[in-house]
Amino acid sequence: MVEIVAGPGATAVLAGDPAAAAGRLVHEMEVDGGESTTRVRLFRRLPIGAAPLTPERIAALRVELAGNAPGTPLDELAVQNRELMSALDEVRAQRDELAETNQGVMALYNELSQELEETNRGVVALYNELDERSAQLKAASEAKSRFLANVSHELRAPVTAVIGLTRLLADSGSDPLTGEQARHVDLIRGSATDLLTLVNDLLDLAKAEAGRLEPAWTEVDLRALFGQLRGTARAVITRPEVQLVVADPPTGSAVTSDEALLTQVLRNLLTNAIKFTERGTVSMELRAATGQDGWEIEVADTGIGIPPELHQRIFEEFYQVPGSSSGRTGTGLGLPYAQRLVTLLGGSLHLASEPGKGSVFTVVLPSRPMPPAPAQRDEG
């Protein structure tokens, strides 16, 4: 307990906010206002576990409190000024530290801004270079297509003439040829026929690349188409060890497509299968597409097969599987052209093959493909 004795006017002062503020700092407070003096008693409980207040302890506390007695108002003002100056010095130090931090942040921001600006300039330059390269590639592709189309067109007439002349020479109504001469004429006709095939493939590929092929959409009877291809493919087979099996589609099987382009794709796949099959079976069948409204046309053979690492390369122009023996040569344009046509018809072409186990080409066609939207004209 602490007891404070004050003058008679202190009672009115202690009765307001000062008494309430002081009361929050102690456990109990009593104010006894008399005529001549005012006594204020402050009670604060000792913490649990504190040492007991013996007379010696009380005497020591009195001495300590007497030593901490407040000085004059001037001394108190000096102490407060020192504390204020210390606080100002601390604030000034924090302000200087914050200023240095801001300078570092601004320097880092400027550095990052410069790096970002340089990066943006590099990206813009790269985009410009890519646009330029794209324009060059487009121009080169168009030039190649024009070259192939022009050369193919110019070569077709003389090659056709050579084939016609060899047929006249070998005709029974012409002067008889010796055995050596007949063999030479057959070689000339075979070479000219191969050259004409290459020319036609080049011309077709050039048309596809130039976007000049527009499908003539119509309802195609797949059963009739399979019958036509069966007769065409049988005429190509020259080895009795190869058997052709073309399964008849169900009656009423139809697809919206371009009949001429679809026939060209399937004939190409059948011809390739027969060419690379020495013995065994070449088959073609139709089945409903899995997971969509459409058809899958599968052309399978028991030929030499294709290694998995070459499955993508065989769809590149002029590429041929290495190691093919004589009699299995081609132009290397049939499969790339077939893939372009299938894509143009709204479908896809897939390959499954292993060396020595044959190949399976699958053409997937939707029943009702979506024709490409016509180009919009600029009215402005």
Model confidence at 77, pLDDT cuts 50, 70, 90, reads confident
Top-confidence residue, 32 or 108: 108
Quote the pLDDT of residue 14: 56
- The DSSP line for 248-290 is PPPTT-EEEE-HHHHHHHHHHHHHHHHHT-SSEEEEEEEEEPT
User: What is the reported pLDDT for 219?
Assistant: 93
Distance from C-alpha of 265 to C-alpha of 260, rounded to nearest angstrom: 9
Are 8 and 35 in contact by the 8 Å Cβ rule? The answer is yes
Which CATH code is given to the segment(s) 215-366?
Answer: 3.30.565.10
Higher pLDDT pick, 153 / 256 = 256
The per-residue DSSP string of 60-106 comes to HHHHHHHHT----HHHHHHHHHHHHHHHHHHHHHHHHHHHHHHHHHH
CA 359 to CA 338: how far, in whole Å? Answer: 16
* Predicted confidence band of residue 326 (pLDDT cuts 50, 70, 90): very low
Please compute the mean of the pLDDT values over residues 241-263 and round it to a whole number.
Answer: 91
CB 282 within 8 A of CB 241: no
Q: CATH top-level class for 84-212?
A: mainly alpha
Predicted pLDDT of residue 4: 59
Higher pLDDT, 80 or 269: 269
Map out the domains of the chain as residue ranges.
2-69, 84-212, 215-366
Pairing of strands 254-257, 242-246: unpaired
Report the share of the chain in percent with pLDDT over 90. Answer: 28
pTM equals 0.52
The pLDDT mean for the chain works out to 81
Query: 185 pLDDT band (50/70/90 cuts)?
Result: confident
The amino acid present at 373, given as its one-letter code, is A
Q: Is the pLDDT of residue 76 over 80?
A: no
